Structure 1
């Protein structure tokens, strides 16, 4: 079997609100680049990547994979990821690996999870991912801790989710701490709580808020301050496990993070950690050093979510509920529409490969929507309601 062509398309899907974070605002939609890899046997593999319009970048890699056997992933990885400094991009390689694994599974009529060692669970629990929102359903903005606690209760009731995470670093730190306190009071001692200021807080602020949250028994404090040194400094002073999807988020920094004692839990990400197989490599290292693993969300659509679910299902140590922005999407590009939550979980797809199929009518609709709306990554660090605002890392 050989790769004979690839196709890349950008699509955007509306959200049910604008989502605020400490470096800007998702402006009411998510966008993804969808990859299709074609083989001489008529099997097509699907991949997906975020980070804006990646069509040109993936097209530049096309000559490196045409003629390759999609089963020869180590060689493809060397040709795509390892050999050219200025084209070395784990996100792009991960999309290609995702598509090649989809091809392999379809060729063997086995789910992708079987290629990674086999599932140890048939469904994956997910969280209520809480953002401070502009233009909420029904109107208005989130302005106080009660608004976020209300939203958490709503998601718990509608989806059955049993854990939450607050995307912090937006409002005053004390008000964000109050969100977790309210959720603990309303949802009980067994409800999982997490907070993630994405490294924007200073070490003193992170320590102050961390100490305030210690008695809540939260699952973890994610990227409380900037960089490996910042996380390590907070970890020494706060009795809460420190998690990260930022420091480290690549193999180059994993050794230094372990030596510094910067982190207790690493959030795996298919794109940062070089594809599903790379995630398995990461988990092996984490197991060696008795570090926990959880799952990061990158605002994915159904193709990547399927890959995340397959991968997570094969990792025995991944006992935390996974992150997912998915409940903010109004639709999906796969046949059947949005995957369904059942008791806070999404089932592992059972079809061959990823187990999902593109809906071409929706691809056309959301390609058009993307062309209308455009690539927001050029204006990512903006706030439509505060035109003079800009991020200030460590300024709080």
Structure 2
């Protein structure tokens, strides 16, 4: 079997609100580049990557994988990820690996999770991921901690989720701390709480807010301040686990992070950590050093979410509910539409490979929508209600 072609398309799907974060706003839609790896036997594997329009970047890699066997992932990784540093991009490689594993599963008539060691759970629980919103479905914007606490209760009741994470670094830190305090009051001691300012807070602010939240028994404080040094400094001063999806977010920084005692929990990500197999490598290192693992979300559509679920289902130590932006999407580009939450979890997709297939009608629809809306990553996630604003790390 050989790879004979690569097909890439960029699609955008509307959201039910505009989502604010510490570097700007997702302006009412997410966009992803969808990859199809085509073999000489007519079997097609699906992959997905975010970060704006990645079509040109992936096509630069096409000559490196044509003619290769999709089962030979080590060679593909060497040619795509290791050969020339300025073309190396773990996010692009991960999309290719995802598609090759989809092909392998289809050839073997086995689900992707079986290629990663087999599932230890049939479903993966997810959280209520809370963003400060513009243009909510009910109208208006989120302005107070009460707004987000009420939304958290709504997600608990409608999706069945039993944990939340606040994307912080948007409002005053004290108001964001109140979100977790209100959620604890409304949802009880067993409801999981997390907060993530994505490193934008100063060390002093992160310590102050962290110490304020200590008695809530939160699951983890994610990227409280900038960099390995920032996380390590906060970790020394607060009595709660420190997590990260930023530092470290690649194998090069994992050793230094462990030596420095920078984090307790690493959020796995298929793109940062070199695909599903790379995530399994990461988990082995974390297990060796008694570090926890959780799952990061990067605004994925159904192809990548399926890959995330297959991967998470094979990791015994992944006991935290996974992150997902998925409940903000209004539709999906896979057949059958959005994957469904049941009691706060999504089942491992059945069928060979990823267990999902493209809906060509939806692909065409959302390709047109992307062409209409454009690549907002190229506009630096501008805030439409604060056109002159830009983030300053450590200014709070």
TM-score by length of 2: 1.00
CA deviations on 1:120-146 (whole Å, 9 max, x unpaired) are 000000000000000000210000000
Deviation at 1:378, TM superposition (A): 1.2
Q: Is the 8 A contact 1:306 1:348 kept in 2?
A: yes
Structure 1 partner of 2:52 = 52
CA distance in 1, matches of 2:324, 2:58: 25
Alignment of 1:222-237 (within 5 A): 222-237=222-237
Alignment of 1:145-164 (within 5 A): 145-164=145-164
Structure 1 partner of 2:137 = 137
Alignment of 1:113-192 (within 5 A): 113-192=113-192
SS of the counterpart of 1:85? coil
Structure 2: runs of 5 or more not aligned: none
CA distance in 2, matches of 1:166, 1:76: 38
Match status 1:318 vs 2:318? yes
Q: Is the 8 A contact 1:219 1:240 kept in 2?
A: yes
CA distance in 2, matches of 1:255, 1:48: 29
Q: Is the 8 A contact 1:122 1:348 kept in 2?
A: yes
Deviation at 1:330, TM superposition (A): 0.1
Structure 1: runs of 5 or more not aligned: none
CA distance in 2, matches of 1:282, 1:149: 34
Q: Is the 8 A contact 2:27 2:381 kept in 1?
A: no
Structure 2 partner of 1:278 = 278
Deviation at 1:381, TM superposition (A): 3.9
Match status 1:336 vs 2:354? no
CA distance in 1, matches of 2:75, 2:387: 47
CA distance in 1, matches of 2:10, 2:208: 43
Structure 2 partner of 1:259 = 259
Match status 1:31 vs 2:39? no
CA distance in 1, matches of 2:19, 2:240: 27
SS of the counterpart of 1:225? coil
SS of the counterpart of 2:86? helix
Q: Is the 8 A contact 1:381 1:390 kept in 2?
A: no
CA distance in 2, matches of 1:133, 1:126: 20
Q: Is the 8 A contact 1:381 1:391 kept in 2?
A: no
Structure 1 partner of 2:18 = 18
CA distance in 1, matches of 2:392, 2:191: 32
Structure 2 partner of 1:378 = 378
CA distance in 1, matches of 2:380, 2:146: 27
Deviation at 1:295, TM superposition (A): 0.0
SS of the counterpart of 2:4? strand
Deviation at 1:57, TM superposition (A): 0.4
Runs of 4+ in 1 over 3 A off after TM superposition: none
CA distance in 2, matches of 1:332, 1:196: 26
Structure 1 partner of 2:291 = 291
Deviation at 1:89, TM superposition (A): 0.2
CA distance in 1, matches of 2:342, 2:328: 16
Deviation at 1:250, TM superposition (A): 0.2
Q: Is the 8 A contact 2:26 2:381 kept in 1?
A: no
RMSD across aligned positions (CA):
0.4
CA distance in 1, matches of 2:378, 2:351: 37
Q: Is the 8 A contact 1:45 1:103 kept in 2?
A: yes
Match status 1:238 vs 2:238? yes
Q: Is the 8 A contact 2:127 2:344 kept in 1?
A: yes
Deviation at 1:350, TM superposition (A): 1.3
CA distance in 2, matches of 1:227, 1:379: 25
CA distance in 1, matches of 2:78, 2:66: 14
Match status 1:108 vs 2:120? no
Q: Is the 8 A contact 1:193 1:219 kept in 2?
A: yes
Structure 2 partner of 1:206 = 206
CA distance in 1, matches of 2:182, 2:378: 36
CA distance in 1, matches of 2:51, 2:87: 15
CA deviations on 1:331-384 (whole Å, 9 max, x unpaired) are 000000000000000000111000000000000000000000000001134210
Count of aligned pairs between the two proteins:
396
Q: Is the 8 A contact 2:124 2:345 kept in 1?
A: yes
TM-score by length of 1: 1.00
